[in-house]
Structure formats: structure tokens, C-alpha cells
Amino acid sequence: MLLEVICFIFVFRHNNFQRTVYLNSSNAMSGKLYSRYNDVTYYFHLQSTNDSLVRENTILRNELASSFEISDTGSTVIYDTLRRFSNDSARNLMSVEARKFLYREAKVINNSVNREINTITLRRGSKHGIRPNMGVVSPTGIVGVVRSVSDNYAVVVSLLYKSSASATSNFGVSAKMRRSGEIGTVYWDGANAGFAQMKDVPRSAILQKGDTIVTSGFSAFFPENITIGYIDTFRVSDRSSTSYNIRLKLATNFYNLQYVYVIENLLRDEQMKLEDSTRNLLK
């Protein structure tokens, strides 16, 4: 065997054709080995890869235009009682772009889909800036709203919340049709975790199967134009009804939630305080 090995060495060393065949064969073999090795190491690094991608997506979401609000801080200088504007008044008109929404990624560690009131547990808590009444979305659509938090965990009330289960805490999401802009409310009827209902859309709206339904921006929980779902079927319950009954296929796959994004509305407290004080004045 030693002599055969020596003979092969001489053959491959002094014959170009045989040497070429040997090199090509060895390269192909080593390439397959390296490929298999890379597949194995990639599998064991999937967790860190997913974590890295989620963090990167969080950074990108925080740079979206919908995460900012442009507030007009302009003023007009008036020099006399005739209200004539100075030539420089336009220079005093300024708009300031301020952050309104802040995204934080979170890992899902518990999730239910087959109850009347379904909840999701996140490995994020008050130590990480999570508070009750923050909206939660997946990479594909809305998920729910944070209900309670501890130091390291948060429990989210899922969109899969049967409204009739509690008359005092119905969960409806203000929504609109992306194509035409009609406003309605999306809620879950408890039938299927992959579908929801949309109500209050007027019969004057032109609907098509597959139309995208998004958040309206009227809620303090979610930015505008976050995908909720897609029209599956629609009908009018009776001739006297003025609105459609719409069935949506939800954009979020609640059966396979791994990571979500918790949305903090930095201006929510100010908005809610003003609205509450106004309602008290009107009583």
C-alpha cells in the first residue's frame, strides 16, 4: 500500500491530466465537507441570527416616518392694526419633527389561541421600559395591547379576545380600508384564530376580496397603516342594514409567534389627559 501511494504521488506530480483530475476531485470533496460543516454551524447559530435580525428590524421601525409627528410651531408677526404681514413672516413659520412612537423588540415565551380571552407573555418588563396600554405588533400585523407588567415580564391581551366575554372591556381596533379609506372597527368573534370581523363599514364602500385593512391611526395604541388583515368575504345582513359584515383573514399568524414589537406612544399620556379633561368639562 505504501508503494501504491508513492506511485500515485509520482503519477499525479508528473502528469498534468491526472493532476488536474485529482485537484478537481479533491476540491469537490472538500467543498461538500465545508458545505455540510457550514450547514451544521448555521443551525446552531440560528438563535443568535434571529435575535440580530429582530434588533435590526427594531432600529429600522424606529426610523419609519410613521414613528414621527410633525408639529407646526410657526408664528406670524403683526406690526399694525391692519394685520399686514411682514416680508419676513414666512421665516417664522417652522415645523418640528418629534418622535411619537418608539419600538422595542420582545421574545414571546407563552401564547394562547383557543380561549375566549387569549393572552401572550413576553420576556420584557418594566425594567425594559414596558408599561400597560402599549400596542404590540408582529412583523406582519397587529397582535394586541399590553395589559400588565412585572420587572421582567409583560402580559399582552391578544387581538383574539372575544368581545362578548366581557361587556366592560371589549377589544376593538379602529381600522380603515387602505385602498378607499373607509373607517370601521375590527374585533374577534371567537370562532377561528386566523380570522376576525370588521363592522361599521358603510354600504357605499366599494369592497373587493383581498383588500388590505390597516390601522386608522385614531387609536393611541397603534400608528397609522399597520396591517391588520385582508378581506376574505363580505355581505349585508339584511336590506335595512347600512353597513357590511366583513370577514378578515388576519395578517398575524397567532399560531407561530416568536418575536413581537412593543410600541410606546410617547405622546399618549398628554393626549389622554386632554381628552379626559375635555369630557369632564362637557358633562
> What is the domain extent for residue 244?
101-282
C-beta separation of 267 from 100 below 8 A: yes
> Cα–chain-centroid distance for residue 163?
23
Tell whether 151 and 270 lie within a shared domain: yes
Closest CA to 124 of 149, 144, 142: 149
**Is 59 part of a structural domain of the chain?**
no
The pLDDT score that the predictor gives to residue 166 is 44
C-beta separation of 183 from 234 below 8 A: no
Q: Write out pLDDT tens, residues 139-179.
A: 899 999 999 999 999 999 999 988 654 443 457 899 999 99
Lowest mean pLDDT of 54-58, 143-147, 243-247, name the range: 54-58
Q: End-to-end CA distance of the chain, in Å?
A: 102
Distance CA 230, CA 275 (A): 32
**Is 127 part of a structural domain of the chain?**
yes
- Residues 211, 214, 217, 223: is their CA dihedral positive or negative? negative
Q: Write out pLDDT tens, residues 79-89.
A: 444 444 444 44
Tell whether 39 and 117 lie within a shared domain: no
Instruction: Please state the domain count of the chain.
Output: 2
DSSP string for 171-234: --EEEEETTT--EEEEEB-SS-TTEEEEEEEETTS---TT-EEEE-S-SSSS-TT-EEEEEEEE
Distance CA 97, CA 58 (A): 20
Instruction: Give the CATH number for residue 227.
Output: 2.40.10.340
For 2, the enclosing helix (H) or strand (E) is helix 2-14
The pLDDT score that the predictor gives to residue 84 is 44
Tell whether 40 and 106 lie within a shared domain: no
Tell whether 13 and 111 lie within a shared domain: no
**Is 61 part of a structural domain of the chain?**
no
**Is 19 part of a structural domain of the chain?**
yes
For 278: left if phi > 0, alpha if psi spans -120 to 50, otherwise beta; the answer is alpha
Tell whether 130 and 262 lie within a shared domain: yes
**Is 24 part of a structural domain of the chain?**
yes
Q: What is the mean pLDDT of residues 2-13?
A: 74
**Is 231 part of a structural domain of the chain?**
yes
Tell whether 18 and 118 lie within a shared domain: no
Tell whether 127 and 214 lie within a shared domain: yes
Domain boundary among 29, 44, 59: 44
**Is 54 part of a structural domain of the chain?**
no
Tell whether 36 and 136 lie within a shared domain: no
Q: Write out pLDDT tens, residues 189-240.
A: 888 999 999 998 988 888 999 999 999 988 889 999 999 999 999 988 777 7
The pLDDT score that the predictor gives to residue 76 is 43
Tell whether 221 and 118 lie within a shared domain: yes
**Is 70 part of a structural domain of the chain?**
no
Tell whether 106 and 31 lie within a shared domain: no
Tell whether 120 and 214 lie within a shared domain: yes
